[in-house]
Chain A
Amino acid sequence: MIGFIFKRFIQSFIVMFLVALLAFTMFNFLGDPVNQMVGIDTTAADREALRDRLGLNDPLLVQFGRFVSNAVQFEFGQSYQHKRAVSGLILDRLPATLELSMIAAIFTLVVGVPMGVYTGLHRDSLLSKIFMTISLVGVSLPTFLIGILLIFVFSVQLQWLPSFGRGEVIDFGFWSTGLLTATGWKAIIMPAVTLGLFQMTLIMRLVRSEMLEVLRSDYIKFARARGLASRAINFGHALKNTLVPVITIAGLQLGSLIAFAIITETVFQWPGMGLLFLQAIQVVDIPIMAAYLMLIAFFFVMINMIVDLLYYVVDPRLRVDATS
Chain B
Amino acid sequence: MTLLKIDDLKVEFPGRHDTFVAVENIQLELEPGQIYGLVGESGAGKSTIGNAVIDLLEPPGRVAAGHIALDGTAIENLPYEKMRSIRGRRIGMIFQDPLTSLNPLYTVEYQLVETIQTHLKLSEVEAAARAIELLDQVGIPEPEVRVKHYPHQFSGGMRQRVVIALALCGEPELIIADEPTTALDVSIQAQILDLIRSLCKQRQVGMVIITHDMGVIADITDNVAVMYHGKIVEKGPTAKILSTPEHPYTKSLISAVPRADLRLNRFPMVDYIEGPEPTRSSFDVSTHWLGKARDFSASDGGALVRVESLSIKFVTQRSILPSRNKLFTAVDNVSFEIRDGETFGLVGESGSGKSTIARSIAGLYRPASGSIHFAGGNLTAIKDEKQLRPYRQQMQMIFQDPFSSLNSRMRVLDIVAEPIRFHKLASSRAEVVEIVEDLLEHVGLGRAAAKRFPHEFSGGQRQRISIARALATRPRFLICDEPTSALDVSIQAQILNLLKDLQDELGLTMLFISHDLPVIRQMCDRVAVMRHGKICEIAETEQLFEEPGHEYTRHLLDLMPKLENLSREGLDVADEDAARQSQ
Q: Is the CB of A219 within 8 A of B103?
A: yes
Q: Is the CB of B56 within 8 A of A314?
A: no
Any B CB within 8 A of the CB of A38: no
Q: Is the CB of A241 within 8 A of B103?
A: yes
Q: Is the CB of B152 within 8 A of A322?
A: yes
Any A CB within 8 A of the CB of B166: yes
Q: Is the CB of A218 within 8 A of B105?
A: no
Chain B 79-98: CB-based contact to A (< 8 A → 1; otherwise 0): 00000111111001101010
Q: Is the CB of B87 within 8 A of A236?
A: no
Q: How far is the CB of A182 from chain B (nearest CB, A)?
A: 44
Any B CB within 8 A of the CB of A317: yes
Q: How distant is the Cα of A229 from the Cα of B87 in the complex, in angstroms?
A: 10
Question: Which of A158-166, A190-198, A220-228, A294-302 interfaces with chain B?
Answer: A220-228
In the bound complex, residues from chain B placing their C-beta under 8 Å from that of A223 are: 103
Any A CB within 8 A of the CB of B158: yes
Chain A's closest residue to B115 (CB) is A226
B interface size (C-beta, 8 A): 36
Q: Is the CB of A227 within 8 A of B155?
A: no
Within 8 A of A (CB), among B129-167: 149-150, 152-155, 158, 163, 166-167
Q: Is the CB of B101 within 8 A of A226?
A: no
Q: How distant is the Cα of A225 from the Cα of B169 in the complex, in angstroms?
A: 12
In the bound complex, residues from chain B placing their C-beta under 8 Å from that of A322 are: 152-153
Q: How far is the CB of A248 from chain B (nearest CB, A)?
A: 15
The answer, among B105, B155, B166, for a CB contact under 8 Å with A324, is: B155
Any A CB within 8 A of the CB of B395: no
Chain A's closest residue to B116 (CB) is A226
Any A CB within 8 A of the CB of B170: yes
Q: Is the CB of A222 within 8 A of B89?
A: no
User: Range of interface residues on chain A?
Assistant: 20 to 34
Q: Is the CB of B118 within 8 A of A229?
A: yes
Within 8 A of B (CB), among A137-189: none
Q: Is the CB of B153 within 8 A of A324?
A: yes
Please classify the interface of chain A as helix (H, G, I), strand (E, B), loop, or mixed, using the class held by over half of its residues.
helix
The answer, among A225, A232, A241, for a CB contact under 8 Å with B87, is: A225
Chain A 228-266: CB-based contact to B (< 8 A → 1; otherwise 0): 111010001100110010000000000000000000000
Q: How far is the CB of A137 from chain B (nearest CB, A)?
A: 29
Any A CB within 8 A of the CB of B119: yes
In the bound complex, residues from chain B placing their C-beta under 8 Å from that of A315 are: 104-105
Any B CB within 8 A of the CB of A282: no
The answer, among B86, B105, B155, for a CB contact under 8 Å with A316, is: B105
Q: Using a Cβ cutoff of 8 Å, how many contacts connect chains A and B?
A: 90
Within 8 A of B (CB), among A269-324: 314-317, 320-324
The answer, among B56, B89, B114, for a CB contact under 8 Å with A224, is: B56
Q: How distant is the Cα of A240 from the Cα of B86 in the complex, in angstroms?
A: 26
In the bound complex, residues from chain B placing their C-beta under 8 Å from that of A320 are: 149-150, 152-153
Q: Is the CB of B84 within 8 A of A229?
A: yes
Chain A's closest residue to B158 (CB) is A324
In the bound complex, residues from chain A placing their C-beta under 8 Å from that of B87 are: 224-227
Q: How distant is the Cα of A244 from the Cα of B101 in the complex, in angstroms?
A: 18
Given A221-B56, A324-B158, A227 and B119 contact (CB-CB distance below 8 Å)? yes
Q: Is the CB of B150 within 8 A of A225?
A: no
Please classify the interface of chain B as helix (H, G, I), strand (E, B), loop, or mixed, using the class held by over half of its residues.
loop
Any A CB within 8 A of the CB of B30: no
Any A CB within 8 A of the CB of B102: yes
Q: How distant is the Cα of A236 from the Cα of B115 in the complex, in angstroms?
A: 12
Q: Is the CB of A225 within 8 A of B56?
A: yes
Q: Is the CB of B105 within 8 A of A228?
A: no
Q: How far is the CB of B103 from chain A (nearest CB, A)?
A: 5
The answer, among A222, A228, A316, A323, for a CB contact under 8 Å with B114, is: A228
Q: How distant is the Cα of A236 from the Cα of B166 in the complex, in angstroms?
A: 17
Q: Is the CB of A228 within 8 A of B97?
A: no
Within 8 A of B (CB), among A194-223: 217-219, 221-223
The answer, among B92, B118, B158, for a CB contact under 8 Å with A228, is: B118
Q: How distant is the Cα of A168 from the Cα of B88 in the complex, in angstroms?
A: 62
Chain A's closest residue to B166 (CB) is A226
Q: Is the CB of A227 within 8 A of B118?
A: yes
Any A CB within 8 A of the CB of B583: no
In the bound complex, residues from chain A placing their C-beta under 8 Å from that of B93 are: 222, 225-226
Any A CB within 8 A of the CB of B100: yes
Any A CB within 8 A of the CB of B242: no
Chain A's closest residue to B87 (CB) is A227
Give the one of A225, A229, A232 with max B CB within 10 A.
A225
Any A CB within 8 A of the CB of B439: no
Q: How distant is the Cα of A222 from the Cα of B92 in the complex, in angstroms?
A: 10
Any A CB within 8 A of the CB of B523: no
Any A CB within 8 A of the CB of B54: yes
The answer, among B104, B119, B150, B163, for a CB contact under 8 Å with A222, is: B163
Q: Is the CB of A222 within 8 A of B105?
A: no
Q: How distant is the Cα of A226 from the Cα of B152 in the complex, in angstroms?
A: 20
Q: Is the CB of B150 within 8 A of A316?
A: yes
Q: Is the CB of A218 within 8 A of B101?
A: yes
Q: How far is the CB of A214 from chain B (nearest CB, A)?
A: 10
Q: How far is the CB of B211 from chain A (nearest CB, A)?
A: 18
In the bound complex, residues from chain A placing their C-beta under 8 Å from that of B92 are: 225-226
In the bound complex, residues from chain B placing their C-beta under 8 Å from that of A218 are: 95, 97, 100-101
In the bound complex, residues from chain A placing their C-beta under 8 Å from that of B114 are: 228, 232, 236
Chain B's closest residue to A316 (CB) is B150
In the bound complex, residues from chain B placing their C-beta under 8 Å from that of A323 are: 153
Q: How far is the CB of A322 from chain B (nearest CB, A)?
A: 5
Q: How far is the CB of B75 from chain A (nearest CB, A)?
A: 13
Q: Is the CB of A227 within 8 A of B150?
A: no
Chain B's closest residue to A238 (CB) is B103
Given A226-B170, A227-B88, A229-B84, A316 and B95 contact (CB-CB distance below 8 Å)? no
Given A227-B88, A229-B84, A322-B152, A222 and B118 contact (CB-CB distance below 8 Å)? no
In the bound complex, residues from chain A placing their C-beta under 8 Å from that of B102 are: 219, 222
Q: Is the CB of B166 within 8 A of A222?
A: yes
The answer, among A227, A314, A321, for a CB contact under 8 Å with B105, is: A314
Residues of chain A touching chain B, judged by Cβ–Cβ distance below 8 Å, are: 217-219, 221-230, 232, 236-237, 240-241, 244, 314-317, 320-324
- Which 5 pairs of residues, A with B, have the shortest CB-CB distance? A227-B88, A227-B87, A225-B93, A218-B100, A226-B88
Other contacts beyond A223-B103, A226-B87, A237-B103: 19, CB < 8 A: A217-B100, A218-B95, A218-B100, A218-B101, A219-B101, A219-B103, A221-B95, A222-B93, A222-B166, A225-B56, A227-B84, A227-B115, A227-B119, A228-B115, A228-B118, A229-B84, A237-B106, A316-B107, A316-B152
Residues of chain B touching chain A, judged by Cβ–Cβ distance below 8 Å, are: 54, 56, 84-89, 92-93, 95, 97, 100-107, 114-115, 118-119, 149-150, 152-155, 158, 163, 166-167, 169-170
Ordered by A's residue number, 6 sampled pairs between the chains whose C-beta atoms are within 8 Å are A218-B100, A219-B103, A226-B115, A226-B170, A315-B105, A317-B150
